[in-house]
């Protein structure tokens, strides 16, 4: 356990950040999962594009907040976009 006042404050800040990052990470995962579920269920292309846009926004926000490395966010978005395009190209 922290002994000095500054160490105690840092511990409090770390806990707040941990909880905040957990919520952000969860929202990113949920947005990506919604796109994948919509593809599996055969949703309309417009609806999937809307969900993809939301997922891209969440990934970009996570990248901007330092939750994801920039290349990781770009890779996830690229792979997700390729899956959406391939799904409607084959259908």
- What are the pLDDT digits (tens) for 8-45? 999 999 999 999 999 999 999 999 999 999 999 989 99
- Token pair for residue 73? 């966010």
Helices (H) and strands (E) in the chain, counts: 3, 0
Quote the mean pLDDT of the chain: 95
- Token pair for residue 59? 């990934």
- Token pair for residue 80? 């997700």
Say if residue 63's pLDDT is above 80.
yes
**pTM, to two decimals:** 0.86
Say if residue 1's pLDDT is above 90.
no
Name the packing angle between helices 5-41 and 45-64 (round to 10°). 160
Radius of gyration (C-alpha) of the chain in whole angstroms: 18
Give residue 2's pLDDT band: very low, low, confident or very high (50, 70, 90). Answer: confident
């Amino acid at each position: 356990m922290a002994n000095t006042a500054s160490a105690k404050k840092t511990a409090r800040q770390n806990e707040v950040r941990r909880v905040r990052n957990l919520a952000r990470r969860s929202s990113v995962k949920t947005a990506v999962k919604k796109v994948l579920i919509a593809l599996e269920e055969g949703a309309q292309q417009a609806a999937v594009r809307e969900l993809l846009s939301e997922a891209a926004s969440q990934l970009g926000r996570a990248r901007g907040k330092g939750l994801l490395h920039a290349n990781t966010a770009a890779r996830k978005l690229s792979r997700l976009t390729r899956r959406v395009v391939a799904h409607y190209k084959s259908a």
